[in-house]
Structure 1
Amino acid sequence: MLHEWRNVVAGPCRKLWERGPLGVSLAVLATVAVIGLHEFQQTASGAGVVRVLSEVRADQPVWLSLLRTPVSVFVPAADLPAWGGLPRLFLAFALAELAFGRVRTLVVAYAVTLAGTLGARVMIALGPDRLGLPAEAAHTVDTGASAAIVGLFAYTAVALRAPLLFLAAVVSTVAGSIAEPNLAGREHLVAVTVAMILAVVLHGRRGATATPPASAAHDTPPCQYPLTESDGVDQEVGHDGSRRGRPTGRRGDRSDPDR
């Protein structure tokens, strides 16, 4: 509990105090983008523009879906309230941004969203008889930041080892996706799975290489000091690191027959 509090609450709050509002600039931009696109979509001319830029469906060519996916992340889904999901979106992006930086947050958000979009195509191809989706799901408009949000929460919880965050922000979404196996629900499951794999691969490898093995200190050879000669006395180093003098062969030997 204390470990999770430090990683999820104390650490991000300290970084926010140090960086100021710029520390959550990506979260602010994402929230503003959702609000702006939602309001623009309500206008007569804006609806067509938003549809051309962001509408993703499984019956489209793959290249078109790939082209529209970055914009579709910030377009609210038509069947969900835009304002109700804004706090959750801001928290997911802000926590990930403070913990991992802007670039990593954007990469994870896009990766899980794209995985959900492509995974939906695979499930539609499988069909409902093979735990897939019915063919009519291909005509469903697939937009919204829900996959990115649950993916970021899953990534953050696994990377920071925060089971309570995972329980509060991810398990409820997964349970709802299992209870209602529609297109969005299946994409959420794919997003959570991909986010967890990314967190284990990236942060597990970093944790394994960042800490040197415990035996490294014992394998390090002791420091060896060079022997020096001063005033007829040779210096030698003992096993405990101390120096002691011994008389040299010529100056310290009084039994020299030539004397």
Structure 2
Amino acid sequence: MRSSLKDFARREWGSLFTTVRTALVARRWRAIPMTLAAICLTAAFQLVQNQEWGYQPVQNVGSVRAEEPLWLALLRTPLSLFVPALDLPVWGALAQILLVFGIAEICLGRWRTLGIAYLATLAGTLYARIGIALGPENPLGLPASDARVVDTGPSAAVVGLAVFVCWRHRARWTGALVVVAMVVEILVKNNLAGKEHLAAIAAVLALVACVAWWERRQDRSEPEPGPGARSWKPPIRS
């Protein structure tokens, strides 16, 4: 039993663990500079928005609502990812960023991490408008009152990054568990945030399908070496 659990853990998390551990041992905190900057930015927004003078400026640069013009929402989306939700403890957002953004930055690189994070966040932002247009009668719809809900925080990005990293490192059961957890969230508490998480997952799964298709196409386009071909190695200089 113990041996089978070890084998499962090695298959599921071995590649991921090795990649993260190697980077942290070699470079320590220098392996995740973008993640540390994101944590500092999130903490700064939290500190400022809880001041009497700072709430409105933070709302002006990072608050997204579906009732606002789309161009304004798109303009605020990059910073909205780092504005913690006022009704949730900030330590939860900081822990999510440290864990998931940190792993993603090591495994995918900082620019891919940011790109996928913004794709997931943008998917949630656009879904809110579509869901409100569909109305509460539609299973995918939202009530009109959700148009006034402040939509900020890293949760959609965290979910999207978790799914992509699990796919890239073949942690299939972990990725499936993330998806199932988001579905259960909807069943327990059917709100805007939960449905935005599913929208983020759908967007990332579409990206996964595109990347997988492109990689298969690249593999097929590479010519196979002939039976007598040898792999070339550079000469060793003495």
- TM-score for both structures, normalised by structure 1: 0.78
Aligned-partner residue type, residue 201 of structure 1 = C
Shift, 1:169, TM fit: 4.2
Shift, 1:141, TM fit: 0.8
Give the alignment partner of residue 186 of structure 1, picking from 195, 201, 204: 195
Aligned-partner residue type, residue 180 of structure 1 = K
- Residues 171-198 of structure 1 show CA distances to partners (whole Å, capped at 9, x for unaligned) of 3233112332211111000001111221
Shift, 1:124, TM fit: 0.4
| Structure that is richer in helix per residue | 2
Q: Distance in 2 between matches of 1:136 and 1:122?
A: 14
| Counterpart for residue 150 of structure 1 | 159
CA 1:146–1:221 in structure 2 vs 1: closer, same or farther (change >3 Å)?
closer
| Counterpart for residue 74 of structure 1 | 82
| Counterpart for residue 18 of structure 2 | 10
Judge conservation of contact 1:112–1:195 (CA < 8 Å) in 2. Answer: yes
Aligned-partner residue type, residue 158 of structure 1 = W
Judge conservation of contact 2:93–2:154 (CA < 8 Å) in 1. Answer: no
Give the alignment partner of residue 180 of structure 2, picking from 167, 171, 175: 171
| Counterpart for residue 107 of structure 1 | 115
CA 1:109–1:162 in structure 2 vs 1: closer, same or farther (change >3 Å)?
same
Query: What stretches of structure 1 of length at least 5 have no aligned partner?
Result: 224-259
CA 1:183–1:25 in structure 2 vs 1: closer, same or farther (change >3 Å)?
same
Q: In structure 1, the residue corresponding to 2:54 is in which secondary structure?
A: helix
| Counterpart for residue 250 of structure 1 | none
Q: In structure 1, the residue corresponding to 2:119 is in which secondary structure?
A: helix
Shift, 1:129, TM fit: 1.2
Q: Distance in 1 between matches of 2:143 and 2:44?
A: 33
Q: Distance in 2 between matches of 1:121 and 1:41?
A: 25
Q: Distance in 1 between matches of 2:158 and 2:128?
A: 18
- Residues 39-76 of structure 1 show CA distances to partners (whole Å, capped at 9, x for unaligned) of 11111111111011111100100000000011110011
| Counterpart for residue 93 of structure 1 | 101
- Residues 95-132 of structure 1 show CA distances to partners (whole Å, capped at 9, x for unaligned) of 11111100000000001100110011001000011220
Higher relative CO (CA 8 A, sep ≥ 6), structure 1 or 2? Answer: 2
Q: In structure 2, the residue corresponding to 1:45 is in which secondary structure?
A: coil
Shift, 1:204, TM fit: 5.0
Matches within 5 A, 1:1-259: 1=8, 2-131=10-139, 132-206=141-215, 209-210=218-219, 216-217=224-225, 220=226, 222=228
- TM-score for both structures, normalised by structure 2: 0.85
Identity rate, percent: 38
Query: What stretches of structure 2 of length at least 5 have no aligned partner?
Result: 1-7, 230-238
CA 1:170–1:82 in structure 2 vs 1: closer, same or farther (change >3 Å)?
farther
CA 1:83–1:221 in structure 2 vs 1: closer, same or farther (change >3 Å)?
closer
| Counterpart for residue 232 of structure 2 | none
Judge conservation of contact 2:93–2:153 (CA < 8 Å) in 1. Answer: no
Judge conservation of contact 1:174–1:188 (CA < 8 Å) in 2. Answer: no
Q: Distance in 1 between matches of 2:100 and 2:220?
A: 29
CA 1:159–1:203 in structure 2 vs 1: closer, same or farther (change >3 Å)?
farther
Aligned-partner residue type, residue 51 of structure 2 = T
Q: In structure 1, the residue corresponding to 2:91 is in which secondary structure?
A: coil
CA 1:221–1:160 in structure 2 vs 1: closer, same or farther (change >3 Å)?
closer
Aligned-partner residue type, residue 186 of structure 2 = S
| Counterpart for residue 253 of structure 1 | none
Aligned length: 220
